């Protein structure tokens, strides 16, 4: 497939709880595009490792798990080997595990082709940590969403409460700061704003405002 004929990609990167997932889903729905929640793939690797007793520091074994990962996305639902695991992968323990396994080159390499396979007509909205810098460097629009750690902790707390899960804002804030540091400092595909990505601070914005801004920036490109 030539570069000109490839379906367009909107790459949305940013730290945990910056609103990427919700925004990506709504933008994709508005444009009629497919949506890739890349973080779910790493969470699925972590979940599979926990289920099979694989240590989260065993890079070789984790790479094998990632290579054989059988994941499906049906709207907002996530399936692993045909079984719904949406709530399981949204837990804080699974999120922490995902951050750890994502630091391994063998895991990232195993998932790279799986992520790129989501690029289908009429287009794709991909969100994660390295969508614009590594997975889709030719994305038509690259954005880096961010928000203050306090705002992100509050959002995560609300999400967990709505799901009936126990949580502590102070603990969530500490975990977010630790995850940010781990994601920024990892040697492979670290969390960073790509040179070609526009910055969008969502701290004081509603979801609707962020979605509107993303769509406006995309359409301004003449797409």
Question: What's the whole-number mean pLDDT along residues 85-91?
Answer: 89
Q: What is the pLDDT of residue 173?
A: 94
The pTM score is 0.87
Decide if pLDDT at 223 tops 70: no
Whole-angstrom distance, CA of residue 73 vs CA of residue 75: 6
Judged by average pLDDT, the poorest of 65-69, 97-101, 141-145 is 97-101
Name which residue leads in pLDDT, 92 or 27: 27
Residue 82: partners with Cβ closer than 8 Å, 6 or more residues away: 70, 72
Whole-angstrom distance, CA of residue 50 vs CA of residue 119: 29
Domains and CATH numbers, the chain: 9-219 (3.40.50.300)
Decide if pLDDT at 4 tops 70: no
């Amino acid at each position: 497939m030539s570069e000109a004929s490839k379906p367009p990609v909107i790459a949305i990167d940013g730290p945990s709880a910056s609103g990427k997932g919700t925004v990506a889903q709504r933008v994709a729905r508005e444009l009629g595009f497919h949506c890739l929640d890349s973080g779910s793939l790493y969470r699925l690797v972590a979940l599979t490792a926990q289920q099979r007793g694989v240590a989260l520091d065993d890079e070789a074994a984790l790479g094998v798990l990632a290579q054989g990962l059988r994941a499906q996305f049906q709207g907002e639902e996530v399936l692993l080997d045909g079984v719904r695991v949406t709530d399981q992968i949204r837990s804080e323990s699974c999120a922490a595990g995902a951050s750890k396994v994502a630091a391994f080159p063998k895991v990232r390499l195993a998932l790279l082709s799986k992520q790129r396979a989501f690029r289908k007509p009429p287009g794709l909205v991909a969100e994660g940590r390295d969508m614009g810098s590594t997975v889709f460097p030719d994305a038509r629009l690259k954005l880096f969403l961010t928000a203050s750690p306090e705002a992100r902790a509050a959002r995560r707390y609300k999400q967990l409460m709505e799901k009936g899960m126990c949580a502590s804002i102070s603990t969530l804030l500490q975990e977010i700061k630790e995850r940010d540091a781990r994601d920024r400092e990892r040697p492979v595909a670290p969390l960073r704003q790509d040179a070609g990505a526009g910055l969008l601070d969502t701290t004081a914005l509603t979801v609707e405002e962020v979605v509107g801004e993303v769509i406006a920036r995309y359409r301004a490109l003449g797409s």
